[in-house]
Amino acid sequence: MRNKVILLFGVLFVFLWNSLSAQQTTQPEPLLEVLSSLQERFQVQFNYASEIVDGVRVPVPDDSLDLSAAVAFLKESTG
């Protein structure tokens, strides 16, 4: 009986963990849109050659990040 309870909690934990982590991930968005969003949010301007960033998709930085952390996140995401 005890083993069944432990197994049940283990399965429940794995199921909940997958559900929570799936909610936190977002689909990559075009870098141009992400940069535009950051520009509006932080009242800054990014300068870039559109042909370089056109077609690049990146994960969206979390809203809790400040500007420098969001830029670092994008830098890490794009290599």
- Residue length, the chain? 79
Global pTM reads 0.66
pLDDT band (50, 70, 90) for residue 79? confident
Distance CA 67, CA 41 (A): 9
Residue 30 sits at φ, ψ, to 5 deg, of -60, 135
CATH number at residue 27: 3.55.50
Range of the domain at 24: 2-78
Convert the pLDDT of each residue in 1-40 to its tens digit: 778 777 666 666 776 666 555 444 579 999 999 999 999 9
Q: How many distinct structural domains can be found in the chain? A: 1
